[in-house]
Amino acid sequence: MKIIFAGTPQFAASALDALLKEHQIVAVLTQPDRPAGRGMQLTASPVKQLALQHGLPVLQPATLKTEEAQREIAALGADVMVVAAYGLILPKAVLQLPRYGCLNIHASLLPRWRGAAPIQRAILAGDAETGITIMQMDEGLDTGDMLLRHACPITPTDTAATLHDKLAELGASSIVEALRLLQESSLNPVKQDDAAATYAAKLLKSEGQIDWRLDALHIERAVRAFNPFPACAAGFNDATIKVWQVALVQGAHSEPGRVLAVDKQGITVACGKDALRLEVLQRPGGKAQPASQFLQAVPVKAGDRFS
């Protein structure tokens, strides 16, 4: 089959890499190059970098709503478009161009966690599992018919980073399977139950600020959900300290934010319910460190307070 691939980040690049082994990719759509890194130099997306390595035509329109962009896509004569974390809205005119329409690789078990941040929201909610849904795209936000679903457990130590990598691999194998079933006319579309839908709102940087008045369990999930972005952080002696790894300490209680104990394993801080042992931390300008190393640079004692 002749496929147009539309995607931008590494999650999408994993799927493109799998498709390249089995299908003809006639063109790749990805977002325009963006400033990145300390020098803020224009940088190609992971999808563009992979496409160029394989000599594929790359299109980077700022929008797909123009007639020019739509003519360019129509001229490719694709059987299907595969979309994964592309980042641009596909208008109805584009959705209807390929023979089999547009298939989306979504990182949740729809209809749960429609929207921009399904991986992080699943961890934050304490879900036991998530997964990949291959969906026939329509004009709504992740509302199309489900063609294939595969579950993936969320372990107690999963961060957004580790779960992202698991789902990227699962998404890649799932879209290869879905296209094989499509060629065999064996896909059975299933309508989503809108009443069961939840929304995975885009991440805000402000969500990373730890509120010690919350339950320790909620904060523990946030630390994992917001790793690597936006990263959880707390104030200590007028400095912002990033918190990368914590452990739940049940039964301990005091004023939220108060340091209860300090040892080589970590810094135990009281929360609204229970407490957390901060095990990996990062001070401004420094690297993430185990608590034992962090404490050599930043003295912390019982009775001190994190804000």
35-85 pLDDT, tens per residue? 988 788 999 999 999 999 999 999 999 999 999 999 999 999 999 999 999
Give the whole-angstrom CA distance, residue 261 versus residue 256. 14
> DSSP letters along 95-132, please?
HTSSTT-EEEEESSSTTTTEES-HHHHHHHTT-SEEEE
Distance of alpha carbon 13 from the chain centroid: 13
- CA separation, residue 124 to residues 105, 159, 201 (Å): 21, 10, 12
pTM of the model: 0.96
Task: Output DSSP code: residue 285.
Answer: T
Strand partners, 150: 132
Q: Distance between CA 95 and CA 230 in Å, rounded? A: 33
Cis peptide before 91 (omega within 30 of 0): no
Residue whose tokens read 């104030």: 235
Tokens at 235, concatenated = 């104030």
| AA letter at 159 | T
Q: State yes or no: 108 annotated in a binding site.
A: yes
For 163, the 3-state DSSP assignment is helix
Classify residue 22 as left (phi > 0), alpha (psi -120 to 50) or beta. alpha
Digit-coded pLDDT (tens) for 237-250: 999 999 999 999 99
**Amino acid 26: pLDDT:** 98
CA–CA distance, 198 with 81 (Å, rounded to integer): 26
Q: What does the alpha-carbon distance between residue 163 and residue 169 come to, in Å, rounded to a whole number?
A: 10
Q: Would the annotation count 109 as a binding residue?
A: yes
Contact 84, 15 (CB under 8 A): yes
Sign of CA dihedral 50, 53, 57, 60: positive
Query: Residue type for 287, please?
Result: K
CA angle, 171 then 173 then 177, to 5°: 110
Yes or no: say if 30 and 50 are a contact pair by the CB < 8 Å rule: no
**111 is known to lie in a ligand binding site:** yes
Contacts (Cβ under 8 Å, ≥6 apart) of 264: 291, 292
Q: How far is 45 from 200, CA to CA, in rounded Å?
A: 23
pLDDT in tens, the chain (307 residues): 999 999 999 999 999 999 999 999 999 999 999 998 878 899 999 999 999 999 999 999 999 999 999 999 999 999 999 999 999 999 999 999 999 999 999 999 999 999 999 999 999 999 999 999 999 999 999 999 999 999 999 999 999 999 999 999 999 999 999 999 999 999 999 999 999 999 999 999 999 999 999 999 999 999 999 999 999 999 999 999 999 999 999 998 899 999 999 999 999 999 999 999 999 999 999 999 999 999 999 999 999 999 9
Set out the domains of the chain in order of their start, with CATH numbers: 2-200 (3.40.50.170), 205-297 (3.10.25.10)
